[in-house]
Structure 1
Amino acid sequence: MEFEIALILFVIFIGGLALGLWAFATLFVVATLIMVLGGDFSFDKAGILAAKVSVRASRSWEMSAIPLFLLMGEMLFRADLSKRLFEGLVPIFRHFPGGLLHVNVAGCTTFAAVSGSSAATTATIGRISVPELLGRGYDRRLVLGSLAGAGSFGLLIPPSIAMIVYGVIGDVSILRLFAAGLVPGLVLALMYSAYIALRGGKATVDPKPANMRALFGLLPILALVVAVLGSIYGGIASPTEAAAVGVAGAAVLILIERRMTWELIRDSLIAATRLTCVMGAVVIAASFMSAAAGIVGIPQALVNWVLSLNLSMTMLLIAIAIFYIFLGLFLDGISIMVVSLPLVMPIIMAAGIDPIWFGVFLVLMIELGLMTPPVGFNLFIVQSISNAPIGEIARATFPFFLIMLGAVVLFTVFPQIVLWLPGMLF
């Protein structure tokens, strides 16, 4: 009976989203129906449980890192440091096969290490790289596709807001998750660059002369990366404390660049507050749904059903991958995570899958969703920058979608690529 209720409520949830309801509101409605229909609770008792869960979830210390990382990313985005980053990378890559197209990959990789957000990474790098690369005559499809693909690194390369949410909901070490995401992120960046090099992407006009002094423009941003990640991996700071270090470092960097204004501070605080409220509401609603599902036995029913299928580990992971790619057609990354984890985590634990490895697998699935229409947020960000049709951007991004899918297979066959660094550091 529990499994049938789960399927009906899942349909209700998808229907609510299709009607344009907010994700957190839909989650609260579904969780309440779970308790009333499946657990014989009254609406009053369901409301009391919702209040208790909301207080408990909102007091999580680990969640306090999210507004700080969001604030850091918003400050760097509004300070328009992408030009310095682009100019600093030009002398390094101008003679590589594929030329300055590698700047999209390297720039997104670098900025992802200080933003924690895919949207901020894509928008910040794309705002300067798209007009520059197109103006230098580079292949339009490679410019747009590489930006949409590499922009998703903001979820994988630490500090990652998505991994903080996963760690809180799944009760997994955030420090180990951050360490697990670093090597796969760099491997994926190399795979993207290898594809760009093979495709050539040769400029149709002579590149502009490179200013070697621009290399020094990379130093402040690299120093910020070292300060944030070094404090975490060195055992000096927790993720929340490292986020505070990042905000302070970003402020110093912006002051040195003489770009600090009251408008920048105000707009950064407002944007970070709005995003924090949205994420907090979704996480609280997901915690309520997890509690409600646990009370009526839905997770255990799902575990028993999956185990009864006698799927191999490979088939189970393929089924989960298809499930997440399907969700990516309708939901953004954080919503996918909070909706699915209360149901998927018990299956993962029962199947003996390492939760650290699965965290990276899940983030990669979400990144694939960022590149698939109709809700591929990276596609819409690239569209807002380039004014290109969404269909053209989706086609340009498809090779990078396949490369990321290949990376998922690689990390599944060789899980130590993911688990080596967290095993060595922690």
Structure 2
Amino acid sequence: MATEITVPALGESVTEGTIGEWLKQPGDAVAVDEPIASLETDKVAIEVPSSVAGVMSAHKAEVGDTVEVGAVIAIIEAGGSAAAAPATPEPAAKTAASASTTTESSSDVSQTLSPAVRRAVLEHGIDPSTVKGTGKDGRLTKEDVIAAAKAKGDTPAPAPAAASASAAPAQAAAPTSAPAGTRNTERVRMTRLRQTIAKRLKGAQDTAALLTTFNDVDMTAVIEARAKYKDLFAKKHDIKLGFMGFFAKAAHLALKDVPSVNAQIDGDEIVYHDYVDISVAVSAPNGLVVPVVRDVDKKGFAQIEKDIADFGRRARDGSLTMDDMSGGTFTISNGGVFGSLMSTPIINPPQSAVLGLHRIEDRPVVVDGEVVVRPMMYIALSYDHRLIDGREAVTALKIIKDAIEDPTRMLIDL
């Protein structure tokens, strides 16, 4: 019996998505609740599971197609047995690669490779069965293949030219080498998530009156506190004590004392929040995502660190949900993990402010009339000047600076 697989509900106000990748091909066996496709929405990538066990009969949409909630995207023959997929013409590049035993069929790989990964495997001559995948459920990513190629010291071989329909068989099988010094380009369609990021950031620039104020922070006290308590903290809470917990709690003090930094504009009204939900910018394979640590004002360091660590893990394996990303009254973005010295972060609409953190480096500073070397970090607060005055922005950033330089303030609510 044939069963139609439809696009599931994607979350509040989300009515459509884009087919990002087929995880099952026609002829593949499918188990109940096994993911068959990856669907990209404006915020996250969602895996579409099969409601029945059987065999993938047909795709009803192609990679890159936009599909609405409830639309049929695949047919599963329930209770069937796996069979070979319908024969399709093989490109010459695939034929040549098969001869060199570098495709997934010749390397006994059971997982389904995405088009981008398959192309990288062919270009670099990598046996995918020898590469450990870091994607969802251990699947290979393009970055995994490239890293394996670099480890081997290989460079991508020019892809053989595909034979035309009228070419002789001998000509079709013969790879064509690109001339030395050839300069190639590749066009890759932007993912739906990347398109949304681009629109939102540009929209923030077009709508908000953006301004950034800077300060620098002496990280000595926080570094010493971490060094002193990290082992006890990890033993008791089963999580490392990081910097983000300190900055989240310091931001809470600032947002409480300067409510406009925790507010947003809605039409001709200002919406103030009596809670602190901090969006934490996390790097994911397809772009930057901002899951929300809720009720920072009520949570301790351990729970904040656990929430952030969990978001980071789920961002990497693609399991963040729409609810994880909804809401948020303020954002913290840590460019320092990538080596950034200073930046002007862009607010995350409809929020009105974002705190940018940067790398820590030893710099000479004057303390009590003497030049000493201290671990310093530049911090930046970008804000919507329509709502937040310069005095308020500078005050909020100074509160964060003072709390980091003297963490006791966070304990006694100063």
Pairwise TM-score range, normalised by the shorter structure: under 0.3
TM-score of the superposition, structure 2-length normalised?
Answer: 0.25
| Rg comparison, structure with higher value | 2
Q: Comparing both chains, which one has the higher relative contact order based on Cα–Cα distances under 8 Å and sequence gaps of 6 or more?
A: 1
TM-score of the superposition, structure 1-length normalised?
Answer: 0.24
Q: Decide which structure has greater strand share.
A: 2
